[in-house]
């Protein structure tokens, strides 16, 4: 009887493992696709950001608002910089919350930005646990045992390197309307974001 109970206890876990194995992994952008809008969209805002970057903290709400104003997708890529001690782990945590819902992952990023000045390598996990508790999410001691979330962050970082990225935030307005110029970098996102979107849409 004890063996039978153990089997039934294990079955839900086994089901989750099997489900994870058969579900397709999310498609990753490549240097050839990063400057294209998502399927079904004519335009998009693409941003490479670092959760520890002060300028990213200032630009993040601007691109979010622009996405809503123009009703175009916002595509976020992680580009944790080597000089920022906790940005990589924060990006992995954001990916963890993405597994619950993309909206929750985006909300965690906003939460990190809003607390960026107080966060450090020692208290980052405490902030993540507080966010998880507020959203009734169990935050495990090891959030990425198989390294799959880190692999997603690494893929974004490698993508940024492949397109010669060297700073954050890097913001692009991408379009499928003009094949000869599929993207335009917003040189000063804080002041030129809206004017750049307008210019791309007029082409």
Tokens of 25: 């992994």
- pLDDT one-digit tens code per residue, 39-77: 999 999 999 999 999 999 999 999 999 999 999 999 999
Q: How far is CA 169 from the centre of its chain?
A: 13
pLDDT at 164 over 70: yes
CATH number for the domain including 68?
Answer: 3.40.30.10
For 47, the 3-state DSSP assignment is strand
What is the spatial distance between Cα 50 and Cα 30, in angstroms, rounded to a whole number? 19
Residue whose entry in the numeric block shows the structure tokens 């990023």: 109
H-type alpha helices, the chain: 2-22, 54-70, 87-98, 102-114, 124-134, 148-162, 189-202
Residues near 160 by Cβ (< 8 Å), separated by ≥ 6? 48, 77, 79, 170
Residue 5 falls inside a structural domain: no
Q: Work out the pLDDT band at 179, boundaries 50, 70, 90.
A: confident
Residue 7 lies in a domain: no
- The domain total for the chain is 1
Within a domain: 9: no
Structure tokens at 57: 């903290």
Say if residues 97 and 108 touch (Cβ distance below 8 Å). Answer: yes
Residue 16 lies in a domain: no
Maximal C-alpha separation, the chain: 72
Band (143; pLDDT cuts 50, 70, 90): very high
pLDDT number for residue 27: 55
Phi, psi of 174 (to 5 degrees): -110, 150
Q: Is residue 19 part of a domain?
A: no
171 three-state secondary structure: strand
Give a yes or no: residue 11 inside a domain: no
CA proximity to 173, closest of 195, 192, 196: 196
pLDDT, residue 18, reads: 34
- What is the distance in angstroms between the CA of the first residue and the CA of the last residue of the chain? 72
| Residue-number span of the structural domain to which 160 is assigned | 29-202
Q: Is residue 128 in a domain?
A: yes
CA distance 45 to 175: 9
Q: What is the band of 33 on the pLDDT scale with cuts at 50, 70, 90?
A: confident
Q: List pLDDT tens digits, range 78-103.
A: 999 999 999 999 999 999 999 999 99
CB 123 within 8 A of CB 112: no
Structural domain contains residue 75: yes
């Amino acid at each position: 009887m004890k063996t039978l109970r153990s089997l039934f206890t294990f079955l839900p876990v086994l089901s989750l493992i099997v489900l994870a194995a058969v579900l397709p992994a999310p498609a990753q952008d490549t240097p050839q696709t990063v400057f294209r809008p998502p399927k079904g969209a004519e335009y998009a805002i693409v941003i490479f950001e670092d959760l520890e970057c002060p300028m990213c903290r200032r630009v993040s709400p601007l691109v979010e608002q622009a996405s809503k104003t123009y009703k175009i997708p916002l595509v976020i890529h992680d580009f944790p910089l080597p000089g920022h001690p906790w940005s990589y782990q924060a990006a992995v945590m954001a990916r963890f919350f993405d597994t619950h819902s993309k909206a929750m992952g985006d909300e965690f990023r906003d939460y990190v930005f809003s607390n960026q000045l107080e966060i450090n390598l020692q208290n980052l996990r405490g902030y993540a646990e507080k966010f998880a508790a507020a959203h009734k999410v169990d935050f495990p001691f090891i959030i990425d045992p198989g390294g799959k979330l880190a692999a997603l962050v690494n893929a974004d970082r490698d993508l940024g390197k492949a397109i010669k990225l060297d700073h954050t935030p890097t913001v692009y307005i991408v379009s499928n309307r003009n094949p000869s110029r599929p993207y335009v970098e917003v040189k000063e996102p804080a002041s030129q974001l809206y004017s750049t979107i307008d210019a791309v849409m007029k082409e």
